[in-house]
């Protein structure tokens, strides 16, 4: 049915190890229709894969910081997957029992698609599989302290295996690449389905001690590089730019009233034109205040020719 692939962090920090094991076990709990691939060579990953009974594929291709490159991960998953539907997941994301049912509903109606959605954030500090009904305990935690994450990005991507073979060399764990996934699907006229109303995924909260200074990933220089690789800020699509909706009752195109206007017009133009100068001009036209501030700052930074001449005369 589906191959789930992920690139976990090192299994050296006790809390990171705990939440990653919780996540992977939740994937395996979906049953025999699910294949799980772990990719990378992080410390402790080999032992974790062996103890969990899942396949491990070493990945050596890395960015300057040591973060895996997304292109290498996707290429390895395409080659190794046994199923025709793939799902990339961050390794701290827990899936619940109805995940597969939702995927089957989409695959039964569409040949091409990209499924994305919001996550729920909750603090987990226990082995959910230590005993009892783990899903019931998790739902209780969600009711007591869970928060729906703002629709700024996506932690899971579900798509047929004939899609996303040409991935830029994004650094994993940095901002930008998840936005590009939504943009690229829209650009290729692949339905982008916001499944937030049908699929509940749970993100187990953690700190950013694995990043320089403990800062969030969007402040990392490689996030800026990811945006450049994606084609610039105009390609930073979000969940609001999905053009289909999956709810518990139906799969359908997004209605007129559900779009954010005029953002829809901007996204439609950029998706049609692709990244490049024309798309940049479209973005500038839809954001006049930002455009005005940019040119104002550029004018203020412009060097004074007379000052340069005076400096040269003094140097002479």
Structural domain ending residue among the three candidates 226, 246, 266: 246
92-119 tens-digit pLDDT: 999 999 999 999 999 999 999 999 999 9
pLDDT at residue 152, rounded to an integer: 82
Q: Would you list the DSSP string of 115-146?
A: EE---EEE---S-TTSSS-HHHHHHHHHHHH-
Rounded CA-CA distance 199/119 in Å is 9
Single out the residue in 228, 246, 264 at which a domain terminates. Answer: 246
Q: How far apart are the C-alpha atoms of 133 and 31, rounded to whole Å?
A: 16
Residue 259 in any domain: the answer is: no
237 and 288 housed in the same domain: no
In a domain, 104, yes or no: yes
pLDDT of residue 131: 85
As a whole-number percent, the residues of the chain with pLDDT over 90 amount to 82
Q: Which domain holds residue 233?
A: 2-246
Upstream peptide bond of 266 is cis (omega within 30 degrees of 0): no
Residue with the bigger pLDDT between 216 and 95: it is: 95
The verdict on residue 177 lying in a domain is: yes
**In terms of domains, do 43 and 183 share one?**
yes
Same domain, yes or no: 209 and 80: yes
Which of 224, 246, 268 lies at the terminal end of a domain, its last residue?
246
Q: How far apart are CA 6 and CA 77, in angstroms?
A: 9
Q: Based on the domain organization, do 160 and 288 belong to the same domain?
A: no
Strand partners, 159: 86
Residues 302 and 239 in one domain: no
- Note whether 81 and 180 are same-domain residues: yes
Segment among 7-21, 43-57, 182-196, 207-221 with least mean pLDDT: 207-221
Residue 116: inside a domain: yes
State whether 69 and 159 are in the same domain: yes
Is position 253 within any domain? no
Q: Are 219 and 314 members of one domain?
A: no
Whether the CB-CB separation of 281 and 229 falls below 8 Å is answered with: no
Select the more confidently predicted residue: 193 or 307.
Answer: 193
254 in any annotated domain = no
Q: Are residues 160 and 225 in the same domain?
A: yes
In a domain, residue 267? The reply is no
> What's the CATH code of the domain at 17?
3.90.550.10
307 and 174: one domain?
Answer: no
Could you give the number of structural domains in the chain? 2
Q: Is residue 268 part of a domain?
A: no
pLDDT digits (tens, 9 = 90+) for 17-44: 999 999 999 999 999 999 999 999 999 9
Q: Is the pLDDT of residue 309 over 60?
A: no
Residues 137 and 283 in one domain: no
Q: Domain check: are 316 and 183 in the same one?
A: no
């Amino acid at each position: 049915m589906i191959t789930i692939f992920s690139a976990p962090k090192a299994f050296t920090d006790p809390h990171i190890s705990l939440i990653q094991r919780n996540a992977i076990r939740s994937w395996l709990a979906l049953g025999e229709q699910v294949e799980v691939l772990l990719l990378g060579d992080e410390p402790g990953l080999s032992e974790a894969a062996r103890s969990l009974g899942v396949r491990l594929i070493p990945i050596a291709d890395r960015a300057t910081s040591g973060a895996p490159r997304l292109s290498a991960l996707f290429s390895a998953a395409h080659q190794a997957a046994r199923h025709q539907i793939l799902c990339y997941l961050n390794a701290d994301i827990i899936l619940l029992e109805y995940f597969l049912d939702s995927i089957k509903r989409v695959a039964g109606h569409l040949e091409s698609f990209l499924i994305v959605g919001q996550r729920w954030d909750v603090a987990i500090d226990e082995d959910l599989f230590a005993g009892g009904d783990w899903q019931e305990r998790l739902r209780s935690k969600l009711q007591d302290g869970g928060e729906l994450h703002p629709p700024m990005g996506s932690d899971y991507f579900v798509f047929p295996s004939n899609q996303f073979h040409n991935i830029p060399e994004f650094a994993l764990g940095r901002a930008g690449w998840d936005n590009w996934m939504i943009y690229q699907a829209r650009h290729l006229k692949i339905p982008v389905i916001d499944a937030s109303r049908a699929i509940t995924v749970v993100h187990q909260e953690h700190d950013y001690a694995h990043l320089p200074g403990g800062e969030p990933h969007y402040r990392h220089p490689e996030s800026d590089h990811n945006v450049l690789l994606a084609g610039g800020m105009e390609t930073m699509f979000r969940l609001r730019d999905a053009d289909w909706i999956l709810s518990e009752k139906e799969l359908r195109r997004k209605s007129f009233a559900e779009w954010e206007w005029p953002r829809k017009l901007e996204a439609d133009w950029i998706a049609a034109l692709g990244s490049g100068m024309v798309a940049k001009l479209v973005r500038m036209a839809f954001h006049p205040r930002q455009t005005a501030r940019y040119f104002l700052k550029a004018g203020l930074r412009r060097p004074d020719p007379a000052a340069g001449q005076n400096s040269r005369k003094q140097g002479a």
